[in-house]
Structure 1
Amino acid sequence: MTQLTGVHHIAVMATDVKKHIAFFSEVLGCPLVALFDMHGVDGGLHAFLRLNDHSYFSIVQLPGVAAAPIEIGKTHAGSGAGVSAAGTLQHLAFNVDTPEAMLAMRDRIRDQGVNVIGPIDHGFCQSIYFAGPDHMTLEIATGQNAVDPRQWIDPKTMAAAAISAEEAEIFKNPVAYVGPSPVPQPPYDPGRPHQTFPEAVYRKMLELPDEVISARSSHAEPPVKVQA
């Protein structure tokens, strides 16, 4: 079945990419593995810190970001229970494999002078909570077993979310995609989600064949040449 298998990277905006790199490297122990000019974005800096060989935490610094105001309750939630605008990241939870590793991370973070709340037992996982640069709301969680939907999909909460029993069965069992491939770009539909570009530019992009977009926009060579 074709489905997502994890998170390759999550990118957050930074006023100061060095401050973020220092936090995620020194406080959380994530090695810096990439730092380069952001592909196709003038003045952009792009950093990657390793979580594992297939998953990274990414930081973006762009000109003018410091002028964009942070507003708790709008741009940022400020805590795991806080409100932020629809479509924004409410909080970000990293994984560790065991409760012991979670407590070790708690102690590492506190040793760097950062306050940590927890652990808190949520049943299917245990978590600790803390803040990162630029008012990020962060969590480290661990769970030893897969989440059992029979136990954790609450009929009362389904009703609050306007999800019927029939819809829940569909959501729990997504239909496998078996083709065709490739699928042509669908017609532009304003009722569907879209990236935010000038509309005329975006429509032109949608008209281009995939191979043209790939040829024009790819940057496959690393910035530093390493001798074999």
Structure 2
Amino acid sequence: MTVNGLHHVAYRCRDAKETTEFYKKYVDLDLTIAVAENKVPSTGEWSPHVHIFLEMGDGSFLAFFELPESPDMQMDTNTPDWVQHLALKVADMETLEQYKKRLVDGGIEVVGPADHKICQSIYFFDPNGHRIELAVDTTTPEMARELGRRAKPMLDEWSKTKRAPDVDELMHSNARG
């Protein structure tokens, strides 16, 4: 038994039309499904909503709910802005730079590209306050093997100390391995 991939990830939005237009204009995602209901299918509770699905290149979806009768959206004030984000994969650095230019030209503040060794990324906020990352995978096969080998020991050490190791040559050196 295994999970085959992502079908969709869903977030709340303030305005479904504005959200759809933003993602089409800046990230090339098309609205392919919109479902409006007055009751929640899984619980039967009253909650008028529209559920929109924006299709990504691999056939998975970025989805949003607009809930006009619910209290205004609140972001988690105890979590820093940079923590909760959605990272979307792009093909290469040229594509990443093109998206950055499009966003900046549209008046959207963009951070990056940031070199994380495993990827190069830019960050921006959508009209709902969700942080979005566009990333180019730069992990080499050797780096992936080494990161995989170190994952459990790293987590075990973190669980004991709640601190990063003093030196992590793989992730913080100038050379890619």
Match of 2:13 in 1: 14
Measured in 1, the distance between the counterparts of 2:154 and 2:7 equals 34
User: 2:78 aligned with 1:78, yes or no?
Assistant: no
**Which residues of 2 match residues 193-208 of structure 1 at below 5 A?**
none
In 2 relative to 1, CA 23–59 (structure 1 residues): closer, same or farther, beyond 3 Å? same
The Cα shift of 1:134 comes to: 2.1
Match of 2:92 in 1: 98
Runs of 5+ in structure 2 lacking a partner? Answer: 41-46, 162-177
- TM superposition score normalised by structure 1: 0.58
Runs of 5+ in structure 1 lacking a partner? Answer: 81-89, 164-228
- TM superposition score normalised by structure 2: 0.73
- 2:33 partner amino acid: A
In 2 relative to 1, CA 113–99 (structure 1 residues): closer, same or farther, beyond 3 Å? same
The Cα shift of 1:123 comes to: 0.8
In 2 relative to 1, CA 69–36 (structure 1 residues): closer, same or farther, beyond 3 Å? closer
Could you report, residue by residue, the CA deviation over 1:18-68 in whole angstroms, capped at 9, with x for unpaired residues? 121111111211111112214852411011111125211111112333x24
- Paired residues in the alignment total 151
Match of 2:120 in 1: 126
> Residue 33 of structure 1: SS of its match in structure 2?
strand
In 2 relative to 1, CA 148–22 (structure 1 residues): closer, same or farther, beyond 3 Å? same
Could you report, residue by residue, the CA deviation over 1:6-27 in whole angstroms, capped at 9, with x for unpaired residues? 2211111112111211111112
Between the aligned residues of both structures, percent identity stands at 26
> Residue 151 of structure 1: SS of its match in structure 2?
helix
More strand by percentage: 2
Measured in 2, the distance between the counterparts of 1:100 and 1:11 equals 28
Measured in 1, the distance between the counterparts of 2:91 and 2:63 equals 21
In 2 relative to 1, CA 150–93 (structure 1 residues): closer, same or farther, beyond 3 Å? same
> What stretches of structure 1 move > 6 A for 4+ residues in a row?
none
